[in-house]
Amino acid sequence: MASATSAASSLSLLPSSRRHASSSPRLPLSLRLPRTHLVQSLSLHVAAGAARIVSGRAQRGSLRVVAMAKKSVSDLTLAELEGKRVFVRADLNVPLDENQNITDDTRIRAAVPTIKYLISNGAKVILSSHLGRPKGVTPKFSLSPLVPRLSELLGIKVEKADDCVGPEVEKLVSALPNGSVLLLENVRFYKEEEKNEPEFAKKLASLADLYVNDAFGTAHRAHASTEGVTKFLKPSVAGFLLQKELDYLVGAVSSPKRPFAAIVGGSKVSSKIGVIESLLEKCDILLLGGGMIFTFYKAQGLSVGSSLVEEDKLDLATSLMAKAKEKGVSLLLPTDVVVADKFAADAESKIVPASAIPDGWMGLDIGPDSIKTFNDALETTKTVIWNGPMGVFEFDQFATGTEAVAKKLAELSGKGVTTIIGGGDSVAAVEKVGVANVMSHISTGGGASLELLEGKELPGVNALDEASVSVAV
């Protein structure tokens, strides 16, 4: 068992008293705080259930510790929202085709619960997002193509401004009725956004009375609309999506139902060091796949042919294996691999034991024995987090391992196992297999989810208001 199983204190999140009309996303029922808990982590997952903890424990009369938590949109009442101008930073960075059609509306749908909650409580929503990586005003990165879908999902006609600051926008804001939405133009049309320039943040903030950050995908960036505005708007609170991401990526991972397995794949061990180290503190089983396994094999003295290897990370691989042993974490490397004669979709391929990779061949997927071993290990778990594909899943003949993991996690989800897909390519894989809707949580932010899993603090979350929460220990 991992050493972090011992926790200093524990929390029970009791069912919400449902103070408000709209419902908040599903939350883990019990969260436990690990010994070395970051203040932020505490704030984050407690924020989601603040009302629950306080009301639930108050009934039992056992309040003993007052902790600081981030304030959530669900803490704002009708009286605090009705007629108020609310600046909502969402992540509406959806992919568009060459005809400006939305090819995946996941991010728009994910932003809807917070906006609906606000408009149903009579707020005037001033909605802000970036799209793409524009250099100055770039028409192809306008947010205009999002308006019809947003209006459809919200059931109201969304207005759109041609800018995100300035007198024209101010005029539109002042004409907003209660319960309406004004979509601002791409906030990254201004270079001041990413530079987090205070004057620009002040201009954005001047449009509103209070602030809601629901843009999890950019919460790891200190930009004007994610961090700067909080200096000028009170209260500044977390939206439902941000809250849910934190509940799972911080809450459920810090205090998992055990056994807890982490599956880490992807191309390089160097880009996942922080995640692996952090998960080694928490998990019971660690399954490794993807390109990074060859660095582990080589560190153990095996031949890896022409597989991807990071020569300068051999010592690191050895130390991670030693750390797993020391922590009592069962670290499983694939025992067989699918090797190819070249890096191509039509490469010749064969299955070989991990200890017998021929010269000139490269490993591009995990083999059938490994899939079986991984499935058997996963069968024993109660919580699983997955980040990074098991192979080069973009090529169909090397997608088997990744798809097998996706299918297994879907099956486990149906049996009540908490399954968390931590962003990036694993989300694409789960979507490709068509099982995204059955997972407990699919993160909407690759970079932000990695940083959270590494135990880092996110500036867009740190900047939000604290709320006092009573916690029983």
User: What is the DSSP code string of 206-221?
Assistant: TT-SEEEE--GGGTTS
User: Does 442 interact with ligand ATP (rule: CB under 6 A)?
Assistant: no
User: Does 228 interact with ligand ATP (rule: CB under 6 A)?
Assistant: no
Burial of 340 (0-12, 13-18, 19+ CB in 10 A): buried
The letter for the amino acid at 135 is: K
User: Does 445 interact with ligand ATP (rule: CB under 6 A)?
Assistant: no
User: Does 385 interact with ligand ATP (rule: CB under 6 A)?
Assistant: no
Q: Which residue in 109, 231, 268, 407 is the catalytic one?
A: 268
Tell me the closest approach of the beta carbon of residue 363 to ligand ATP, in angstroms: 5
Q: Which of 34, 228, 290, 459 binds ligand ATP (CB under 6 A)?
A: 290
Nearer to ligand ATP, 228 or 423 (CB): 423
Rounded to whole angstroms, the Cα distance separating 130 from 215 reads: 10
Rounded to whole angstroms, the Cα distance separating 242 from 48 reads: 9
Q: Which residue in 56, 422, 424, 445 is the catalytic one?
A: 424
> By the 8 A CB rule, do 270 and 142 touch?
no
User: Does 364 interact with ligand ATP (rule: CB under 6 A)?
Assistant: yes
Nearer to ligand ATP, 230 or 295 (CB): 295
Rounded to whole angstroms, the Cα distance separating 213 from 448 reads: 14
User: Does 426 interact with ligand ATP (rule: CB under 6 A)?
Assistant: yes
Rounded to whole angstroms, the Cα distance separating 335 from 96 reads: 41
Residues between 298 and 357 that touch ligand ATP (CB under 6 A) = 308
By CB under 6 A, how many residues form the interface with ligand ATP?
A: 19
Q: Which of 106, 144, 206, 267 binds ligand ATP (CB under 6 A)?
A: 267
Question: Which range touches ligand ATP (CB under 6 A), out of 79-87, 189-197, 315-323, 387-395?
Answer: 387-395
Comparing CA positions, the residue from 398, 417, 400, 401 lying closest to residue 409 is 417
Q: Is 107 annotated as a binding residue?
A: yes
Does 447 participate in catalysis according to the annotation? Answer: yes
Does 268 participate in catalysis according to the annotation? Answer: yes
Rounded to whole angstroms, the Cα distance separating 309 from 294 reads: 6
User: Does 388 interact with ligand ATP (rule: CB under 6 A)?
Assistant: yes
Which runs of E-coded beta strand occur in 193-265? Answer: 210-213, 236-238, 260-264
Tell me the closest approach of the beta carbon of residue 394 to ligand ATP, in angstroms: 5
Q: Is 244 annotated as a binding residue?
A: no
> By the 8 A CB rule, do 37 and 318 touch?
no
Tell me the closest approach of the beta carbon of residue 427 to ligand ATP, in angstroms: 8
Tell me the closest approach of the beta carbon of residue 117 to ligand ATP, in angstroms: 29
Q: Is 64 annotated as a binding residue?
A: no
CA 382 to chain centre: 20
Task: Please state whether beta strands 349-353 and 210-213 pair in parallel, antiparallel, or not at all (unpaired).
Answer: unpaired
User: Does 55 interact with ligand ATP (rule: CB under 6 A)?
Assistant: no
Q: Is 422 annotated as a binding residue?
A: no
> By the 8 A CB rule, do 468 and 52 touch?
no
User: Does 425 interact with ligand ATP (rule: CB under 6 A)?
Assistant: yes
User: Does 459 interact with ligand ATP (rule: CB under 6 A)?
Assistant: no
> By the 8 A CB rule, do 422 and 403 touch?
no
Q: Which of 5, 271, 375, 462 binds ligand ATP (CB under 6 A)?
A: 271
Q: Is 367 annotated as a binding residue?
A: no
User: Does 460 interact with ligand ATP (rule: CB under 6 A)?
Assistant: no
Tell me the closest approach of the beta carbon of residue 392 to ligand ATP, in angstroms: 4
Tell me the closest approach of the beta carbon of residue 291 to ligand ATP, in angstroms: 3
- 69 to 108: interface string for ligand ATP, x by CB under 6 A: ----------------------------------------
Q: Is 223 annotated as a binding residue?
A: no
User: Does 159 interact with ligand ATP (rule: CB under 6 A)?
Assistant: no
Closest-by-Cβ residue to ligand ATP is 424
**Which residues are CB-contacts of 338 (< 8 A; sequence separation ≥ 6)?**
349, 350, 351, 363, 364, 365, 366, 367, 391, 397, 398, 400, 401
Does 408 participate in catalysis according to the annotation? Answer: no
**Which residues are CB-contacts of 9 (< 8 A; sequence separation ≥ 6)?**
32, 33, 65, 471, 473
> By the 8 A CB rule, do 329 and 276 touch?
no
Task: Please state whether beta strands 159-160 and 383-387 pair in parallel, antiparallel, or not at all (unpaired).
Answer: unpaired
Q: Is 133 annotated as a binding residue?
A: yes
Q: What is the H or E stretch that residue 192 is in?
A: helix 191-195
Q: Is 424 annotated as a binding residue?
A: yes
Nearer to ligand ATP, 205 or 292 (CB): 292
The position carrying tokens 């021929």 is: 358
Q: Which of 112, 392, 404, 464 binds ligand ATP (CB under 6 A)?
A: 392
Q: Rounded to 10 degrees, what is the CA torsion of 182, 185, 186, 189? A: -150
User: Does 446 interact with ligand ATP (rule: CB under 6 A)?
Assistant: yes
- Eight-state DSSP code of residue 73: G
Does 391 participate in catalysis according to the annotation? Answer: no
Q: Where on the chain is the footprint of ligand ATP (CB under 6 A)?
A: 266-267, 271, 290-291, 308, 363-364, 387-389, 391-392, 394, 423-426, 446
Query: Can you say which residues are annotated as belonging to the binding site for ATP?
Result: 272, 394, 423-426
Query: Can you say which residues are annotated as belonging to the binding site for substrate?
Result: 91-93, 130-133
Q: Which residues are catalytic?
A: 107, 268, 424, 447
